[in-house]
Chain A
Amino acid sequence: DAGVIQSPRHEVTEMGQEVTLRCKPISGHDYLFWYRQTMMRGLELLIYFNNNVPIDDSGMPEDRFSAKMPNASFSTLKIQPSEPRDSAVYFCASSLPSSQETQYFGPGTRLLVL
């Protein structure tokens, strides 16, 4: 298996533009997580899905952020409009259904908003 796939790996955009990050989880994994990582705040969970349904979105910073999972093999995280403070590394992770399961992370998308 190729592992969790994320695209793009790097994104540079200007303030106010829309940004879309993409993720393909590991096949057979029912859970998908979106994280944001910064030096100051570390890894923060934004939202997670179970069987394509959003379960906990309490970490989504504000209405500018939205996430979708139209099917078991694809998810998007969208920021509209983007702001400089959104600059961070965004990770997608997936895991198997049973509890105590570890999370498998993708390589991340490094976002810079100018």
Chain B
Amino acid sequence: SQKIEQNSEALNIQEGKTATLTCNYTNYSPAYLQWYRQDPGRGPVFLLLIRENEKEKRKERLKVTFDTTLKQSLFHITASQPADSATYLCALDKGGNNRKLIWGLGTSLAVNP
């Protein structure tokens, strides 16, 4: 069956450091992979989308990589700030007419001042 795994343990880092979150998947061939941020009591908010033929995507302090051979995506936040503390979710998309996303459970990130 299709499976997505994100770091199950919460990630604690010091302000200013780079946070790296992992999303691994099996039995799936996504056309796109999306990363969302979720704050307590709120719905997920889209951050970045990367296509299967792209190796890297950047947006301000965020960087996403996508390795279809390893079946893995890495999500990096450089120069992290306490305001980056949240849960980060990855979601896989097969593309085409099916709009169904398959979601990971998320990784909780805490950036300490």
Contact = CB atoms under 8 A, between A and B. Distances in A.
A77 to B, nearest CB: 15
Contacts, number: 50
B27 interface: no
Contact of B43 (A44, A100, A102, A108): A108
Interface string A5-31: 000000000000000000000000001
A65 interface: no
Interface of B: 32, 34, 41-46, 49, 51, 89, 93, 95-101, 103-106
A56 B42 contact: no
B43 A45 contact: no
A105 interface: yes
Interface residues of A, number: 23
A106 B106 contact: no
Contacts of B105: 42
A33 B102 CA distance: 13
**Taking each of A55, A103, A104, A105, which has the highest tally of chain B beta carbons within 10 Å of its own beta carbon?**
A103
Contacts of A55: 99
A71 interface: no
Contacts of A43: 44, 89, 103
Given A42-B106, A100-B32, A100-B93, A31 B99 contact: yes
B45 A100 contact: no
A42 B46 contact: no
A107 interface: yes
Nearest to B97: A99
